[in-house]
């Protein structure tokens, strides 16, 4: 009997929350792509490609989409994947997801025709249907009985139809996550490309070991105790590059943006002057230097959308974030601040941790009463869902990273400002109107005009603040090959010699 092949991974964070609908945490997205499959996936060129869908067609008027599932798909418990599962999963997902919510607003009906075919009928033309189904945040297809769970509650069953099975018995939060190869998975007959293509599993088992201390993680990689380290600090990269048994590369070439998110429900950030003060106090170079270090991995981005994408624009004076204007920030803050305690959540085990320290120091310089509360990232991702007052278990500010979803105002977590708003809960009708108009507009020039108008409104309203954009190097043992580049981290196609 052949020896079991085990890929040993150090992920960037601890996995505590398992439901990708309930939370948008990137570590939960990684988990979701392991155990669930998606209808479409973004390839290396960011084009949506069929994944669970075998064939699809669009009516001449652009209002009716007909999708047929490909053959051979089963859930981990052996049950066949049907369109009843798909429809239930989509409806649960779009109740929480920004891009999904925008699609739901223009949907007249979503129905299963038979076990293999379903239709989506729109109330008006919408050019982002396939892009939305290929969104990095789902929909992830679950059994219909599981998808019946309230979208504001976490699912209790973790059965998917993806390439790996979650080994719940061996899951130790704060320590270890185990995935076993799903022998019943039928990959697409094409090369892998980003989150799309043939997801062929070439190892028997993947083990995530959470090692929050970088020195411990580095020693484990060098000593061949682990095979893959997702996010080594940039200042340790030269040490890894000097080891002939280790390869250093950028798995996600598109990079990540870092944002500061204020809570719009409570003072002082329920007033736009206080939120604008945050934008004036930010110097992206300061934040990126503290978080990333080596400038070859980061850039100043004066757009609230991801730089290097069609949504990039500096309309509305986004250049203010290239340098700090503390005098203007203090003037704005003093106009509305009444001495409230501002709770800044500080994740001690996450790359955004240094950003929290800088923000707390700058707010104190403005005369704000700051309470910096240390916690791990898993706690932060749970607590940010709380709408309690900041001093009663809630929060005022957190920092996070987001990926390619931030290239589009429809999917950008920080942009939605209404019923579908992400944690922080901004409310702005004009932003929502412009988001919808951008999604519905097919002409690139007109879409750019709408993007400029949206950006101007966001710079005034300040739903969040951009802190910069960077790429994250990873390190893996030289006997590991087949790492798929893209905006999500999957462990299909990887071989270990």
pLDDT of 1: 43
**pLDDT tens profile 89-131:** 999 999 998 889 889 999 999 999 999 999 999 999 888 899 9
- How many other C-beta atoms lie within 10 A of the C-beta of residue 497? 8
Q: Which residues pair with 370 in a beta bridge?
A: 342
Cβ burial, residue 445 (10 Å; 0-12/13-18/19+): exposed
Whether the Cβ atoms of residue 493 and residue 246 lie closer than 8 Å to each other: no
- Calpha distance 267→396 (Å, rounded): 8
Is the peptide bond between 361 and the residue preceding it cis, with omega within 30 degrees of 0?
Answer: no
Write out the two tokens for 143: 């059994």
Query: Residue 362: in which H helix or E strand, if any?
Result: helix 353-365
d(CA 119, CA 142): 18
CA distances from 398 to 123, 230, 270, 284, 339 (A): 37, 23, 15, 16, 19
DSSP codes joined into one string, 318-350: GGGGGS--HHHHHHHHHTT--SPEEEEEEETTS
DSSP for 91-117, written as a single string: HHHHTT-HHHHHHHHTEEEEEESSSSE
Q: What superfamily would CATH give domain 256-470? A: Dipeptide-binding Protein; Domain 3 (3.10.105.10)
Is 54 buried (19+), middle (13-18) or exposed (0-12) by CB count in 10 A?
A: middle
Among candidate residues 435, 448, 422, 472, the one with its CA nearest the CA of residue 96: 422
Query: What is the per-residue pLDDT for 403?
Result: 83
Cβ-contact 425, 387 below 8 angstroms: yes
Distance CA 269, CA 291 (A): 24
Burial (CB count <10 Å: 0-12, 13-18, 19+), residue 77: exposed
List per-residue pLDDT tens for the chain, 497 residues long: 467 899 999 998 899 899 999 988 889 999 999 999 999 998 888 889 999 999 999 999 999 999 999 999 999 999 999 999 999 999 999 999 888 988 999 999 999 999 999 999 999 988 889 999 998 888 999 999 999 999 999 999 999 999 999 999 999 998 999 999 999 999 999 999 999 999 999 999 999 999 999 999 999 999 999 999 999 988 899 999 999 999 999 998 888 999 999 999 999 999 999 999 999 999 999 999 999 999 999 999 999 999 988 789 999 987 887 889 999 999 999 999 999 999 999 999 888 999 999 999 999 999 999 999 999 998 999 999 999 999 999 999 999 998 877 888 888 889 989 877 999 999 999 999 999 898 888 788 999 999 999 999 999 999 999 999 999 899 999 999 999 988 888 899 999 98
Alpha helices in 392-443 (DSSP H): 429-440
Work out whether the CA dihedral 443, 258, 395, 91 comes out positive or negative.
positive
Query: CA 340 to CA 247: how far, in whole Å?
Result: 49
Radius of gyration, alpha carbons of the chain: 22
Measured on CA atoms in the order 293, 17, 78, 203, is the torsion positive or negative?
positive
Lookup result for tokens 């106009």: 335
Domain spans of the chain, in order of start: 256-470
User: Cα-Cα-Cα-Cα dihedral of 227, 233, 234, 237, to 10°?
Assistant: -30
- In terms of Cα–Cα distance, which of 281, 436, 447 is closest to 370? 281
Backbone φ and ψ for 470, nearest 5 degrees, come out as: -150, 165
CA distances from 272 to 265, 267, 269, 364, 426 (A): 11, 10, 7, 19, 10
9 closest CA partner among 189, 283, 238, 210: 210
Helices (H), 256-335: 272-281, 284-291, 326-334
Alpha-carbon gap, residue 296 to 121, rounded angstroms: 46
Residue 406 neighbours by CB distance under 10 Å: 27
Q: What is the pLDDT of residue 301?
A: 93
Contact 106, 123 (CB under 8 A): yes
């Amino acid at each position: 009997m052949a020896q079991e092949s085990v890929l040993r991974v150090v992920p960037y964070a601890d996995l505590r929350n398992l439901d990708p609908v309930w939370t948008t945490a990137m570590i939960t997205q990684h988990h979701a792509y392991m155990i669930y499959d998606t209808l479409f996936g973004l390839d290396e060129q960011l084009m949506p490609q069929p994944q669970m869908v075998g064939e699809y067609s669009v009516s001449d008027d652009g209002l009716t989409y007909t999708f047929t599932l490909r053959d051979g798909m089963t859930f981990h418990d052996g049950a066949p994947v049907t369109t009843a599962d798909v429809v239930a999963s989509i409806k649960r997902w779009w109740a929480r997801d920004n891009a999904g919510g925008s699609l739901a607003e223009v949907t007249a009906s979503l129905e299963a025709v038979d076990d293999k075919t379903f239709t989506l009928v729109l109330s008006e033309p919408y050019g982002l249907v396939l892009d939305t189904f290929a969104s990095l945040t789902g929909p992830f297809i679950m059994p219909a009985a599981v998808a019946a769970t309230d979208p504001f509650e976490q699912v209790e069953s973790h059965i998917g139809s993806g390439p790996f099975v979650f080994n719940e018995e061996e899951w130790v939060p704060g320590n270890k996550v185990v995935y076993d190869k799903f022998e019943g998975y039928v990959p697409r007959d094409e090369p892998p490309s980003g989150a799309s293509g043939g997801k062929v599993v070439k190892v028997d088992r993947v083990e995530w070991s959470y090692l929050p201390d970088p020195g411990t993680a580095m020693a484990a990689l060098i000593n061949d105790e682990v095979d893959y380290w997702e996010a080594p600090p940039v200042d340790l990269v030269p040490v890894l590059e000097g080891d002939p048994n280790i390869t250093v590369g950028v798995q996600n070439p598109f990079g990540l943006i870092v944002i500061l998110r204020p809570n719009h429900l409570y003072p002082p950030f329920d007033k736009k002057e206080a939120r604008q003060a945050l934008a004036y106090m930010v110097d992206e170079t300061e934040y990126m230097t503290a978080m990333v270090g080596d400038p070859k991995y980061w850039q100043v981005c004066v757009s609230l959308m991801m730089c290097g994408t069609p949504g990039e624009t500096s309309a509305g004076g986004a250049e203010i974030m290239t340098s700090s204007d503390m005098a203007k920030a203090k003037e704005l803050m003093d106009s509305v601040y009444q001495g409230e305690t501002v709770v800044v959540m500080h994740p001690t085990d996450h790359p955004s941790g240094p950003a929290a320290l800088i923000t707390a120091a700058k707010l104190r310089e403005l005369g704000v009463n700051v309470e910096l509360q240390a916690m791990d990232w898993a706690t932060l991702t749970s607590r940010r869902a709380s709408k309690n007052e900041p001093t009663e278990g809630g929060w005022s500010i957190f920092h996070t990273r987001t990926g390619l979803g931030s290239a589009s105002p429809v999917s950008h977590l920080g942009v939605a400002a209404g019923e579908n708003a992400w944690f922080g809960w901004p409310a702005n009708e004009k932003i929502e109107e412009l988001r919808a108009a951008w999604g519905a507009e097919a002409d690139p020039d007109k879409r750019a005009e709408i993007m400029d108008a949206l950006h101007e409104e966001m710079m005034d309203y300040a739903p969040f603040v951009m802190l910069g954009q960077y790429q994250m190097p990873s390190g893996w043992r030289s006997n590991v090959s087949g790492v798929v580049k893209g905006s999500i981290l999957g462990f299909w196609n990887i071989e270990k010699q």
